[in-house]
């Protein structure tokens, strides 16, 4: 009697016990099911693991070109450490970092942090020394600075494209309420801030 044996398949299907029953092999052992720890151990021992830190170099360049860490050294905002997304266009209620205007009397190398309360198309009005944006109260301007200098009121009207009304809740905040700060232009902006702590 002639028996024909089919060649054994060298690849095992997913159900190895069924395969072993159909194609018995000497010394057959069921593969050990890998957990996350075993997979990481195999990856750690591979050639790829030796070179993965090189991937951090382009990531570091990308992060450096798009983000920065900023420290707030004033009391105008409670948060002290921020991540700044560079060259991002702010929206209403975003926090921003910007350079003060030349006529503000502040050093040009200082970076200010404020919240955007008004964007293009918004209407800024004044009643007494109270400022309103689209008829919603936002802040009251002081009459004198901490150095007892008189403070002139900031601009009113319709914000144009690329102009922002900025402020903070702090009573002594030097912001768009005052003439020397005024509205912020897009070319003064450095980026949008996200608080860390």
**pTM of the predicted model over 0.95:** no
> Does position 12 have pLDDT exceeding 80, yes or no?
no
What is the average per-residue pLDDT within 112-126? 97
Residue 33: its pLDDT value, please? 63
User: Cα 36 vs. chain centroid, distance in angstroms?
Assistant: 31
- Which residues, in sequence order, are bridge partners of residue 124? 133, 157
pLDDT in tens, 120-133: 999 999 999 999 99
pLDDT confidence of residue 61 = 67
Write the DSSP assignment of the chain as a string of letters. Answer: -----PPPPSS--S-HHHHHHHS--TT--PPPPP-HHHHHHHHHTSHHHHHGGGGHHHHHHHHHHHEEEEE--SSSSS--EEEEEETPPP-TT-EEEEPPPGGGSS-TT--EEEEEEE-TT-EEEEETTEEEETTEEEEE--SB-TTS-B--B---EEPPTTEEEEE-SSTT--STTBTTT-SEEGGGEEEEEEE--
For residues 94-106, give the mean pLDDT: 93
Q: What percent of the chain has pLDDT over 70?
A: 75
Q: What is the pLDDT of residues 50-77, one digit of tens each?
A: 666 776 777 666 677 788 888 888 888 8
Contacts (Cβ under 8 Å, ≥6 apart) of 31: 16
Cα–Cα distance for residue pair 68/110, rounded to 1 Å: 16
**Residue 14: pLDDT band with limits 50, 70, 90:** low
CATH superfamily of 87-188: Umud Fragment, subunit A (2.10.109.10)
The pLDDT value recorded for residue 59 is 65
């Amino acid at each position: 009697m002639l028996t024909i044996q089919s060649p054994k398949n060298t690849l095992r299907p997913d159900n190895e016990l069924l395969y072993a029953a159909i194609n018995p092999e000497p010394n057959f052992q069921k593969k050990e099911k890998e957990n996350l720890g075993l997979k990481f151990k195999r990856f750690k021992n591979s050639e790829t693991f030796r070179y993965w830190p090189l991937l951090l170099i382009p990531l570091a360049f990308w992060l450096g070109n798009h983000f920065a860490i900023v420290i707030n050294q004033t009391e105008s905002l409670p948060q002290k450490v921020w991540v700044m997304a560079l060259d991002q266009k702010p929206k209403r209620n975003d926090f921003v970092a910007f350079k003060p205007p030349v006529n503000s009397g502040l050093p040009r190398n200082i970076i200010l942090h404020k919240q955007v309360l008004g964007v293009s198309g918004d209407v800024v009005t004044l009643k007494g020394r109270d400022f309103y944006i689209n008829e919603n109260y936002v802040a009251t301007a002081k009459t004198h600075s901490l150095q007892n200098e008189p403070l002139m009121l900031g601009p009113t009207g319709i914000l144009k494209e690329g102009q922002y009304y900025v402020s903070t809740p702090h009573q002594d905040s030097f912001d768009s309420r005052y003439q020397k700060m005024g509205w912020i232009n897009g070319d003064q902006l450095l980026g949008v801030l996200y608080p860390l702590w």
